[in-house]
């Protein structure tokens, strides 16, 4: 293929691109925002779909966030593509804060306060019961409240913004259609074959 990369980038290069995109996170978030606004659906379904993705980002099911978002969005009849885009709420910049907050709340809910301070990566490689008790369950329970808060905030902010964008886009398209129609009418040739009135009559 003409445009195919000749050499695949190494692991460190791909990791650096994930943690620090070459064009910056701000541009990436701006692109996602524009993409969400242009989705062909109602503002309610688009905003609800993005909220489902934001909520899924607070679950401990890493690598499965998109599947969780799609499942929740399908159950709520929200926009599936917006749900997939909403998982950008969970990214390398926000995951440390999300995990710390979820584990802190989850530790308090399960009677294990200070779970974040005493957490050790070795628990991941311990037996399955300790993995569930000391990581998955606290993270899952603790992520519910902040996940719902992030989903609500996403919906409240996005729905009016999308509605305003769609209304402005419709006005722009209608104005463009009017200009094209006026230009077409102005260029329309006179009909031939009709009798020409005699000035002497």
- Condensed to tens digits (0 to 9), the pLDDT of residues 141-198 reads 999 999 999 999 999 999 998 898 888 888 887 888 888 877 777 665 555 555 555 5
- In this prediction, residue 52 has a pLDDT band, given cuts at 50, 70 and 90, of very high
Residue 49 near residue 83, CB atoms below 8 Å: yes
- Would residue 198 be called left, alpha or beta, if left means φ above 0 and alpha means ψ between -120 and 50 degrees? beta
Whether the predicted pLDDT of 23 surpasses 80: no
Which residues, at least 6 apart from 18, have a Cβ–Cβ distance to it below 8 Å? 92
pLDDT: which is higher, 156 or 124? 156
Each residue's pLDDT tens digit, 95-111: 989 989 998 899 888 88
Task: Tell me what the mean pLDDT of segment 31-60 comes to.
Answer: 83
DSSP per residue over 43-86, as a string?
HHHHHHHHHHHHHHTTSS-TT-HHHHHHHHHHHHT--HHHHHHH
């Amino acid at each position: 293929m003409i445009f195919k990369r000749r050499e695949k980038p190494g692991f460190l290069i791909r990791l650096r691109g994930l943690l620090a995109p070459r064009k910056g996170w701000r541009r990436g978030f701006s692109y996602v925002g524009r993409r969400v606004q242009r989705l062909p659906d109602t503002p309610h379904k688009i905003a609800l779909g993005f909220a489902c993705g934001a909520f899924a980002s607070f679950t401990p099911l890493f690598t499965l966030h998109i599947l969780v978002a799609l499942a929740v969005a399908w159950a709520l009849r929200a926009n599936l593509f917006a749900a997939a885009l909403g998982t950008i709420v969970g990214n390398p910049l926000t995951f440390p804060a999300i995990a710390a907050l979820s584990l802190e709340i989850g530790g308090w809910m399960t009677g294990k306060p200070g779970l974040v301070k005493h957490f050790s990566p070795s628990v991941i490689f311990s037996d399955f019961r300790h993995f569930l008790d000391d990581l998955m369950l606290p993270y899952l329970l603790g992520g519910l409240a902040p996940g719902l808060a992030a989903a609500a905030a996403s919906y409240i902010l996005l729905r009016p913004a999308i509605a305003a964008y769609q209304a402005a886009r419709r006005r722009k398209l209608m104005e463009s259609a009017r200009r094209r129609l006026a230009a077409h009418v102005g260029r329309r040739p006179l009909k031939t074959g009709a009798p020409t009135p005699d000035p002497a009559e």
